[in-house]
Amino acid sequence: MDELLTPEEVAKWFKTSTQRLANDRYLGQGPRFVKVGKFVRYRLADCQAYLNENQYTRTDTRVPA
């Protein structure tokens, strides 16, 4: 089973805020997440995949590396 992370843990890891993560969830952006009851959790593998899918070699294009 994959490790589940809290929004606070993911925000710290991504060096962002929990509010930014909440906004990304609302917009359907950011890493995939799961709901455990009323709680939001992120699978570690989904966070790693999100980072891997968002690697770029140039700033003027949206073509992944």
- Identify the pLDDT of residue 65: 59
Please determine, for residue 19, whether its predicted confidence score (pLDDT) is greater than 70: yes
Residue-wise pLDDT tens digits, 32-58: 999 999 999 999 999 999 999 988 877
What's the whole-model pTM score?
0.85
Domain ranges of the chain: 4-53
Q: How far apart are CA 40 and CA 64, in angstroms?
A: 28
